């Protein structure tokens, strides 16, 4: 579960789930530790541009509560 590919795909899957205009999904992902998961993945794989990109995209999306898509 610590592999680069798993971390990359996990961040991207959560990002895709959070792309809904329904803020409740973002709230649930945050409450379940989505921010911590993305941060941990990025810290474990600092030289992986794809993990950094997808983790950052997830963090950005989770900050968009109250905003459309």
**Predicted local distance difference test score (pLDDT) of residue 1:** 67
In this predicted model, which residue has the larger pLDDT, 20 or 7? 7
CB 62 within 8 A of CB 26: yes
- Sequence-separated (6 or more) residues with CB below 8 Å from residue 64: 26
Average pLDDT over residues 38-49: 96
3-state helix, strand, coil in the chain (%, to 5): 70, 0, 30
In this prediction, residue 26 carries a pLDDT of 92
C-alpha dist (Å) from residue 3 to 8, 15, 45: 9, 18, 9
Q: What is the CA radius of gyration of the chain?
A: 11
Check residue 42 and give its pLDDT. 96
Mean pLDDT of the chain: 90
pLDDT of residue 68: 53
């Amino acid at each position: 579960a610590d592999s680069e590919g798993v971390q990359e795909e996990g961040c991207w899957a959560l990002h895709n789930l959070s792309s809904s205009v329904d803020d409740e999904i973002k709230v649930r992902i945050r409450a379940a530790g989505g921010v911590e998961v993305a941060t941990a993945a990025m810290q474990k794989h600092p030289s992986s541009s794809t993990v950094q990109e997808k983790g950052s995209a997830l963090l950005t999306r989770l900050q968009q509560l109250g905003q459309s898509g």
